[in-house]
Amino acid sequence: MAGSSVGTSGAPELRLGAFDHRDPPALDGLRACVHCGICLPQCPTYRVLGEEMDSPRGRVYLIRAAAEGRLSLTPTFTRHLDLCLGCRACESACPSGVPFGQLLEATRGQIERQASRPLGQRVWSRLLLSVFPSPRRLALLLGAARFYQRSGLQRLVRATRLLRPIRRLAALDALLPNTLPNRERTLPEMVPARGRRRGTVGLLVGCVQRLLFPRVNAESVRLLARAGYELLIPRNQGCCGAMHLHAGRIDEARSLASRLMAHFGREVDFVVTNAAGCGSAMRDYPHWLRGDPEVEAFSLKVRDIAELLAECELPLQRLDVTVTYHDACHLAHGQRVRSQPRQMLARIPGVTLVELADSELCCGSAGVYNLLQPEMADRLLTLKLECIAASGATVVATGNPGCILQIDRGCRARGLAVEVLHPVELLGRAVREEG
């Protein structure tokens, strides 16, 4: 029920049950759930735990109870919401169209402002959200990580199991690739199209992508230009706000979104992403920045790179390799892009594309979830690795940097001789330059 209380300014503050007036979860969205249970087998945490309150249906019930004033934002309430990966698999399964992702993000915004979390969790979460979406800070962290690896400290720490009692730090250490890139590749601000011109695209270079996987951005530029697209790559374009949005820091996400859109002010036909989480957040901008027609226009231009490259005829050389494809959650469920990456890969001569069992089951990455909830993330990764091992593939392709890090980490730990790549990297191997 809606009510009021007196805020710090002395003015009445409207409330919706346990929620304040700032971006509460929409009651219409909560009421759309008919509790049919079709979403339950699609939910990663429900499949692992078998607990009703750790299913989409259970979480919707909790959020609605809080909105109606029947429940407060207790530590138990917060725990069930924190365990959700935000993968949105329930949205793909839901026959009633419950906007679970938006409900979750709005509820996390309320938790962020009103609820109490353990000090260690709060500090760790804020540290991650201050570093990963900031290319400058992330570059400093990766510089320290390179020294940590090359000096032999990492081998010593792992041999002595020094980090074993500190699970979140141990998870961060395990996530580091064996070889970190030396530096970010500087991309030109404009790249002309080659051959028949198809149009102009703006490329989002991302935060994690540009520093940990610069080859993905370089191949994205080369392949789009080869396919006939002129590219605009704005300098200092910044973060899209996806991590902040998923963590409930909605005002910060709005600010980052507005800044990002300002960098793509020049007329482009599409704004291209090669990171599933970024693309999903950018397509959701109109929900969080309501009333601005320019936001709607920007959102309608957002495309995953596979959507463009799947339509292009490129000169492909043979690659004799068996590949399986993992559906990144925010590509399959957030953007509903499933067939195009498979079409792109299957077109490469010599590639045997085998379907991955439970391809749409989250690998446990989910932004920084694997660093906040490492135990649950590990259990989901184990399920994913079993499917990868059973596929017989020697390459796993997936369209999100977090998934690449998570699955690569699991394959190394399990001793699987599997290479984990972004689809554009594999396509790039088949599109070789003359000479």
Measured distance CA(224)–CA(229) in Å, rounded = 5
257-270 pLDDT, tens digit each: 999 999 987 789 99
CATH of 190-309, one of 1.20.1740, 3.40.50, 1.10.3470, 2.60.40: 3.40.50
The yes or no reply on domain 16-114 and CATH 3.50.50.60 is: no
What pLDDT shows up at residue 222? 96
41-96 pLDDT, tens digit each: 999 999 999 999 999 999 999 999 999 999 999 999 999 999 999 999 999 999 99
CB atoms within 10 A of CB 257: 26
The DSSP call for residue 242 is H
| Residue 102: C-alpha distances to residues 30, 66, 255, 313 (Å) | 10, 16, 18, 37
8 pLDDT exceeds 50? no
Q: 247 — alpha (psi -120 to 50), left (phi > 0) or beta?
A: alpha
How is 257-298 classified by DSSP, letter by letter? HHHHHHHT-S--SEEEES-HHHHHHHHTHHHHSTT-HHHHHH
7 pLDDT exceeds 60? no
5 pLDDT exceeds 50? no
What pLDDT shows up at residue 186? 86
What pLDDT shows up at residue 122? 87
What pLDDT shows up at residue 11? 45
361-383 pLDDT, tens digit each: 999 999 999 999 999 999 999 99
435 pLDDT exceeds 90? no
What pLDDT shows up at residue 1? 45
CATH 3.40.50.1860 intervals, the chain: 321-430
156-196 pLDDT, tens digit each: 999 999 998 889 999 999 999 988 888 777 899 999 999 88
17 pLDDT exceeds 70? yes
87-146 pLDDT, tens digit each: 999 999 999 999 999 999 999 999 999 998 888 888 999 999 999 988 889 999 999 999
CATH 1.10.1060.10 intervals, the chain: 16-114
What pLDDT shows up at residue 434? 65
321-430 topology per CATH: Rossmann fold (3.40.50)
The pLDDT mean for the chain works out to 92
What mean pLDDT comes out for the span 275-295? 93
What pLDDT shows up at residue 9? 43
Q: What are phi and psi of 321, to 5 degrees?
A: -155, 145
306-350 pLDDT, tens digit each: 999 999 989 999 999 999 999 999 999 999 999 999 999 999 999
Planar angle of CA 107, 259, 238, nearest 5 degrees = 90
The encoded tokens of residue 278 equal 């970024």
